[in-house]
Amino acid sequence: MPNPKQMNFMWDKRYGTEDYAYGKEVNAFFSTQLDGVDPGLMLLPGEGEGRNAVYGALHGWTVEAFDQSGVGKSKALALASELGVVINYQVSHLEDFLFIPNHYDAAGLLFFHSDPASRIFLHQKVYESLKPGGILILEAFHKEQLQKNTGGPKSPEMLFDEETLSSDFALFKTLLLEKQEIELNEGPSHQGPASVIRFMGIKPN
């Protein structure tokens, strides 16, 4: 796996253009699920250029987000300023972020792909950081995305399937777990037919 400095360089380069790599519009699945939930405090790990954080703030959520890319943070804050909202955005590697137990009303994991050890760590910490009754919304690339050239990692171990998420999120009350074939239209880096997996769960009381 690339070391942290290599990963920082990769994402800074990805975000270091005038365009927003994944667009300025919110992830469609995330917005659809979030629109039925009363606003509160939300956590968004790996938030990149801020499109989902800004959407949450526009709809009454207090948003805390982090990403390892300082360039991503700059663009996220610029987008928030453009649309007149405030987000709390930290530059942090996953292992350095302080996850506060029983703290958030909702969390979103949108195309957060990592090695298996980091994935398990992230999913456990997100579960712990949610309040009882808190919700998790996830969309990511399914393992079948390897057959397509429309985004996502090229390593199978960094992709998802139903068994992986069922195991990682066994403590949640699962509301939705499904694979979907969709047409991505999210900026220049997510375009075309894609195999994704979607999860929504509630932390039990």
Whether residue 58 has pLDDT greater than 50: yes
Q: In terms of Cα–Cα distance, which of 31, 170, 177, 179 is closest to 106?
A: 31
Which range marks the domain in which residue 140 is found? 4-202
Which pLDDT score is estimated for 25? 94
Whether residue 131 has pLDDT greater than 70: yes
Per the rule left: phi > 0, alpha: psi between -120 and 50, beta: everything else, 26 is beta
Which pLDDT score is estimated for 15? 84
Per residue in 14-23, pLDDT tens?
788 878 988 8
Q: CATH number, domain at 53?
A: 3.40.50.150
Per residue in 148-187, pLDDT tens?
988 899 999 999 999 999 999 999 999 999 999 999 988 7
Domain count, the chain: 1
Contact 70, 93 (CB under 8 A): no
Q: pTM of the entire structure?
A: 0.93
